[in-house]
Amino acid sequence: MRNKKPNVILIMADQLRLDAIGAHTPNINRLKENSVVFERAYCASPICVPARGAFFTGMYPNETGCLINRGEDMHALVRPDIDHLYGLMDQTWDSWHTGKQHLRMNPSVDESPGSRTNWRKLEGRYEAFLKENHKRVPGGPNYRGIVPEMSHGKITRPKSYSIPAVGLYEEGQEFFIDEFITRDSVQAIRERDRSKPFLLNAMFHAPHPPLEIPAPWFDFVEAVDLPVNVGEWCRGQSPLQLYNLTGAIGTRYKREDWRHIWKVYLGLVSLLDQCVGRIIEELKREDLYDNSLIIFTSDHGEMLGSHGLWQKMCMYEESVHTPLFMKFPANFKPAVTSCCSLVSSIDVLPTICDFTQIQTRSPMSGRSLMPLITDSASGRERIFIQYDGNGGRGNFGRCIVEGDYKLIVDIFKDETYIELYNVTEDPQERENLAFQQLIYRARIEQMLQHLREHMQATKDLLELPDQIYDRFLQDYTEFMS
């Protein structure tokens, strides 16, 4: 007898560029073909821990309190009074977590005495597995470099971060990170409590660097067509990215350097695709697939040389525009297969709660996507994205997307830089329209006001000055002439 409630399978990649899904991802492609595809889905923050804190709570980073990846504990943790997916579901569902555990709270969610989730998290266990087998962790000093990291806008600290170095992980796929996560995921499917509906959160590491990957994936991709903006510092893009990890590392590499880096990155995406295929195959073997809501997404994207930048941590499409596919159980027929409405990652948890009829205990800023899926309502007018730094608050970004337009406010110390793009006509964001004030002033001022209202409503620690656009034009128009 099937459970009355559907199984929920959440598969999340880490740092997956949307346009990396294609010829080398047959399993993800098949899942996409059987899903509702959200064409304009965006993360809430282009960095791992704040992005996942928002995703798992349905709340903006300003609201969760989780603004940065690490360090400064008061800004690196989700507030303990906020509901999250595990707490809402693991009383009814047989809940399993595999892979990266980036919902960081105090006390830790995976050590909470009230948690009924079966935690098979990556941290600690993977290193112990390698040590037991006398193998080493992928990466190392050759895959890292020193960059400046600003804290509080006052102190610059030298920090070691990943660089786009590539190499063959000679230990083999058996000992690779995502193979370890896949085995845990398959084991969870087999060992589940069959008297309950099943919940699996499979949090993969790929295609996050280091780009030291096993055969055959290291040279699996023979050729690649690079997007035009790879290795290109676009006229009008924010020079403040040169103070960010994105530009401090990314600008060291030329277009031809990125070509080989892309091949290895796409090989890692292909490895991820194989892992996804094995999970889906096991779901079918265990007769779970047809009664499962399967969600595939990524926490954020990857610049991979676009705009001459590396990693994420900025507001360009390659960093914040994410895949989001939802495959519903066979007994539910969505009214649409593709949706072009604006969607935020904070909308996923409310959608799960709506579809599975979970009563939430507190309001969420995210909105259920079920009205879009049933074609009974229009979507959001706008979405918001924020970035507050990696290991310390120092580089900031605020972003609003309305219709075809995206407004970016980039902030470093006393400087503020504004960018406006029509992401429909200019998807690679090569023409900053903010300098065309006669045409776009009214739109920019209105979007800035909407951004201010959002920041105030979510108790943002930053404020945008009233005359911010005029100051930008005064400071940078000569630079563009």
Higher pLDDT, 59 or 391: 59
3-state secondary structure of 198: strand
- How large is the angle between the packed helices 437-457 and 468-480, nearest 10 degrees? 140
Question: 129 burial class (0-12, 13-18, 19+ CB within 10 angstroms)?
Answer: middle
CATH number of the domain to which 303 belongs: 3.40.720.10
Work out the pLDDT band at 111, boundaries 50, 70, 90: confident
Establish if 448 belongs to a structural domain: no
Establish if 405 belongs to a structural domain: no
Higher pLDDT, 478 or 381: 381
What pLDDT does 481 receive? 62
Establish if 168 belongs to a structural domain: yes
What pLDDT does 164 receive? 97
Please check the confidence at residue 287 and state whether its pLDDT lies above 80: yes
Please check the confidence at residue 279 and state whether its pLDDT lies above 60: yes
221, HSE (Cβ side, Cα atoms, 13 Å)? 22
Average pLDDT, the chain: 95
**Is 436 within 8 Å of 236 (Cβ atoms)?**
no
What pLDDT does 1 receive? 32
Q: What percent of the chain has pLDDT over 70?
A: 98
Establish if 446 belongs to a structural domain: no
**Is 435 within 8 Å of 236 (Cβ atoms)?**
yes
What pLDDT does 71 receive? 63
Mean pLDDT of 323-343: 97
Establish if 351 belongs to a structural domain: yes
- What is the count of structural domains for the chain? 1
Work out the pLDDT band at 210, boundaries 50, 70, 90: very high
Establish if 413 belongs to a structural domain: no
**Is 206 within 8 Å of 271 (Cβ atoms)?**
yes
Q: How far apart are CA 264 and CA 207, in angstroms?
A: 10
Establish if 455 belongs to a structural domain: no
What's the pTM value of the predicted model, to 2 decimals?
A: 0.96
Establish if 465 belongs to a structural domain: no
Q: Which tokens is 223 given?
A: 């050729």
Please check the confidence at residue 93 and state whether its pLDDT lies above 90: yes
What pLDDT does 72 receive? 59
Q: How far apart are CA 172 and CA 37, in angstroms?
A: 34
Higher pLDDT, 480 or 1: 480
**Is 145 within 8 Å of 161 (Cβ atoms)?**
yes
What pLDDT does 155 receive? 82
Please check the confidence at residue 2 and state whether its pLDDT lies above 60: no
Mean pLDDT of 328-335: 97
Range of the domain at 241: 7-381
pLDDT tens digits for 134-176?
A: 999 999 999 999 988 877 767 888 989 999 999 999 999 999 9
What pLDDT does 25 receive? 98
Please check the confidence at residue 253 and state whether its pLDDT lies above 80: yes
Give me the DSSP letters along 4-17. SSPEEEEEEESS--
